[in-house]
């Protein structure tokens, strides 16, 4: 029985290349990391006829900072696990509510539900912001491609005065290959 040398070479090549991919995949590491941004609100005067006030804040998540920076050029995947809002401090009107959205760009928003600022601070409540129409995937794509994303918080407070520190917490699972 005569063996075909070309088929033998193809089989060896497939084995080597498949083995290398499996070895590379085995080197992947996945870890959870967080990025957070604190916003200080000091709103003393209403901006709207109904005694409410609007505000806009901007921030950037940059993968070149924090735990991810040593893997920034070796990223395989990112999963946005959750985005949360926490009131760190408050000296606000008793019934003042915060609401609005986080504008991630590209038409993607995350809603901030109406939240009593003082109650959220007093109780230590952390508000989970739900994914909306693929916003988490959009954020993931921007982080993988651009290594950063700049976003705006477009908010409204129902009453003034509002003096509060708010923190947005972004929790990500990052997969990278150090090879």
SS (H, E, C) the chain: CCCCHHHHHHHHHHHHHHHHHHHHHHCCEEEEEEEEEEEEEEECCCCCCCCCEEEEEEEEEECCCHHHHHHHHHEEEEEEEEEEEEEEEECCCCCCEEEEEEEEECCEEEEEEEEEHHHHHHHCCEEEECCCCCHHHHHHHHHHHHCEEEEEEEEEECCCCEEEEEEEEEEEEEEECCC
Instruction: Give tens-digit pLDDT for 99-143.
Output: 999 999 999 999 999 999 999 999 999 999 999 889 999 999 999
- We find that the CATH architecture of domain 30-176 is Sandwich (2.60)
Domain boundaries, the chain: 30-176
Q: What is the pLDDT of residues 49-91, one digit of tens each?
A: 999 999 999 999 999 988 999 999 999 999 999 999 999 999 9
pTM, whole model, 2 decimals? 0.84
């Amino acid at each position: 029985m005569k063996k075909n040398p070309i088929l033998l070479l193809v089989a060896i090549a497939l084995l080597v290349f498949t083995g290398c991919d499996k070895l590379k995949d085995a080197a992947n590491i996945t870890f959870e990391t967080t990025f957070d941004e604190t916003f200080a609100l000091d709103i003393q005067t209403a901006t709207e006829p109904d005694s409410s006030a609007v505000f806009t804040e901007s921030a950037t998540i940059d993968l070149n900072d924090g735990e991810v920076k040593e893997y920034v050029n070796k990223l395989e995947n990112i999963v946005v696990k959750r985005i949360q809002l926490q009131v760190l401090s408050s000296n606000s009107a008793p019934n003042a509510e915060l609401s609005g959205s986080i504008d991630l760009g590209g038409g993607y928003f995350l809603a901030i539900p109406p939240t009593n600022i003082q109650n959220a601070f007093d109780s230590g409540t952390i508000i989970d912001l739900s994914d909306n129409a693929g916003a988490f995937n959009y954020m993931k794509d921007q982080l993988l491609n651009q290594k950063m994303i700049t976003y705006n918080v477009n908010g409204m407070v129902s009453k003034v005065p509002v003096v509060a520190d708010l923190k947005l917490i972004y929790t990500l699972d990052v997969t990278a290959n150090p090879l």
